[in-house]
A and B are shown apart, each in its own frame.
Chain A
Amino acid sequence: MNDEKVKMRTQDPKVRNKNFEEVELGYTKEEALKEASRCLHCKVPRCVEGCPVNIMIPDFIAAIKENNIKKAYEIISESSSLPAICGRVCPQEKQCESKCVKGLKGDAISIGSLERYVADEAMKNDFVANIKVPKNNKKVAIVGSGPAGLSCAGELAKKGFSVTIYEVLHKAGGVLSYGIPEFRLPKSIVENQIKSLKKLGVTIRTNIPIGNALTIKELQKEYDAVFIGTGAGLPKFMGIEGEDASGVFSANEILTRINLMKSYKEESKTPIKKPKKAYVIGGGNVAMDAVRSLKRLGADAHIMYRRSEEELPARKMEAEHAKEEGIKFDLLQNPVKIITDEANNVTGMEVVDMELKEAGEDGRRSVEEKKGSNHIVDCDMVVMALGTGPNHEALKDSNIVLTDKNLIEVKDSKTSLDNVFAGGDAVTGAATVILAMEAGKKAAKEIINLFS
């Protein structure tokens, strides 16, 4: 029985680890048809439940089978505003694809790859989801143009709201623009998705730091509702000796320099350090993005993670891609000190071995230092990818209620302030693009209910 999925072609690892072009090449029409034909169209499609925004997956796959890609695109667009992005960066293996019946005995349907195929075709052929709605004369301000804000804006615009998104950076997209690298999510795709939101009538105002230039209070006066999707942007550091050295960076800084400021290009005006040997500390998706970027700058690039491969929080595929590209994984190790020279440059790290213990109540195995295992590794760059905390600059003087974890407190997307909603990482702490999009969509529903 031929029940293997159609694998997506990728750039040769030895070639791609020297360029910033997209790793995964997408399906051809034949590949998409072949993969779509594997779908059983279950009567009770569990994949739809597995999708945070509940895309009608079997229906769009059926449209692919009919070779009606425009229809497939319209079906997806009913539920998702950013399919070209989700098709690329969603952890489908934990969501829709994990529920696929086919996955019980073989490979699940590659729903993400099919979604990407439809979205890319839509872009190529300039399909516009056929949605025309009369304006309802309600104005909504959205703070932050990351995935939460964009999806909230898309939903509201489709229902006739006048939406203005405020963004502090010079480019919209939030983590999609500054964080996720070109080789995983080409910026032209992000720009295109944002363009389609603008076609729906959404206004995007860049360079405006809410909290300083305009306060939430002022937005409340000017708009009928406000949605806060400011994300979790504040980088964490370990608090170990030597962390202020000139060769120690947050993953955010490295990624922002590379993705937003394009410093991997020779002609870029923003500088970047090109390390000989770099350690990225952490095991999440951001760590993978950072380490793979450094590899592309020519470094001997390592991940250092205190747990084992089993516990890596990154998507499996990202870790696999990283390995193929020649990234080394130094597992069950943790730095305790960064070693510097007179000029404050990094020359190495003091590292300890770690031991896994039994799983705690949260199901996660704790780790302990192996006493006396301290040793030195050489390197000239250390990048901290330890996660990020909420950045509440936008909330200044707003008296909004926060939780004991310093996140925005919400009930049904509503904050403590009148007609102010919130969602995404600012509410949950650092999570994924699709969860932020789901939160944006949910909040949009609440806002729509408020005015209907």
Chain B
Amino acid sequence: MYKVIKNEKINPNTYLMEIEAPEVIKNALPGQFVILMGKEDSERIPLTIYDTDKEKNILSVIYQVIGASTEELSTIKKDIFAVTGPLGKPNEICKNPEEYKKRKIVYVAGGVGVAPVYPQVKYLKERGFDIDVIYGAREKDLLIIQDKLEAVSKNVYYVTDDGSFGEKGFVTNVLEANHDKYDLCVAIGPLIMMKNVAAVTKKYNIQTIVSMNPLMVDGSGMCGACRCEIEGKPKFACIDGPEFDGHKVNYDLAMKRMNIYKEEEKQKWEQMKKELGTK
């Protein structure tokens, strides 16, 4: 059991959870992920690390309620059954910042993808980087952690699908308009966004890193559920990733693989809602 400090709603379907987990955060670097299990019989949920407070030993994650397991997670109050991590490889830039000192870096965040973007920008800011962030969401109400993001970024360009905040349109519009300012892009968000960003950066020959978030079971290289096709070869997101060269990912395949348990997941969500509702 791990102590939950906080588990609060930060927008209509997104939660911020803080957990006391000294061993998880001790050696953690931005880009790595954790696996949470709400209760002993819960599913294992992979989530990229949002923030770490190494003085207070606190790990923070941000998650969206999208199914049975995240629905259950949102009801966890005092203790959480399991927190495993850090897992996966750290972000390449954060691991070797000196090698990237001269690069002109832009981060592109889509939806809750802003949660894993934030710690990278923060980490690099602390090491003297000035980084622009393009942050897109469907509408104004879905934007999160704006203050924290602005505090560590040089510029934040907001984009909403409906124009309710910042520019109207998609992150790719802003990227297209500013492409000549950058030579390195890190994009984290929905697969379709990463696919579209990679198409733009490919056109302008901008090196691109994306973070994959496929289905996973153990998260330690054992099951192969998370395999992604990178340059025609299967790679395990849990140990070979989760970050990959954005120009080498087969996004269409990844999107199809996200739907493997669609029917089962729908059923489990109904089952969970009933269970939580009656309790």
Contacts and interface: CB of A to CB of B under 8 A. Distances in A.
A393 B37 CA distance: 22
Interface of A: 168-170, 178, 206-209, 212-215, 233-235, 237, 243-244, 246, 249-250, 252-253, 256-257, 260-262, 267-273, 343-344, 391, 393
Contacts of B272: 269
Given A244-B227, A256-B217, A261-B44, A344 B256 contact: yes
Contact of A213 (B27, B68, B234): B27
Interface in B27-74: 27-28, 32, 37, 41-44, 68-69, 72
Contact of B223 (A244, A253, A343, A344): A253
Interface residues of B, number: 44
A344 B253 contact: yes
A234 B226 CA distance: 12
A252 B83 CA distance: 22
Interface of B: 23-24, 26-28, 32, 37, 41-44, 68-69, 72, 81-87, 217-218, 220-225, 227, 229, 234, 239, 253, 256-257, 259-261, 264-265, 268, 271-272
Nearest to A233: B222
Contacts of A207: 82-84
B61 to A, nearest CB: 15
A410 to B, nearest CB: 22
Interface of A is mostly: loop
9 contacts: A168-B84, A170-B81, A178-B222, A212-B85, A233-B220, A237-B224, A246-B257, A252-B223, A256-B223
Nearest to A208: B23
B57 to A, nearest CB: 13
B217 A257 contact: yes
Contact of A391 (B27, B41, B83, B221): B221
Given A168-B220, A253-B217, A271-B268, A344 B257 contact: yes
Given A213-B27, A253-B224, A246 B259 contact: yes
B217 A234 contact: no
A212 B260 CA distance: 29
A249 B84 contact: no
A215 B223 CA distance: 23
B220 A271 contact: no
A231 to B, nearest CB: 9
Contact of B253 (A168, A244, A257): A244
Contacts of B256: 246, 343-344
A168 B238 CA distance: 13
A178 B218 CA distance: 10
A109 to B, nearest CB: 37
B27 A268 contact: no
Contacts of B229: 244
A244 B83 CA distance: 29
Contacts of B68: 269
A208 B268 CA distance: 29
Given A208-B84, A261-B217, A271-B261, A249 B268 contact: no
A252 B224 contact: yes
Contacts of B86: 209, 212-213
Contacts of A252: 222-224
Nearest to B42: A269
A261 B37 CA distance: 11
Given A212-B87, A244-B257, A261-B44, A169 B27 contact: no
B87 A209 contact: yes
Contact of B23 (A214, A234, A260, A393): A214
A379 to B, nearest CB: 16
Given A212-B27, A213-B23, A244-B229, A262 B222 contact: no
A170 B37 contact: yes
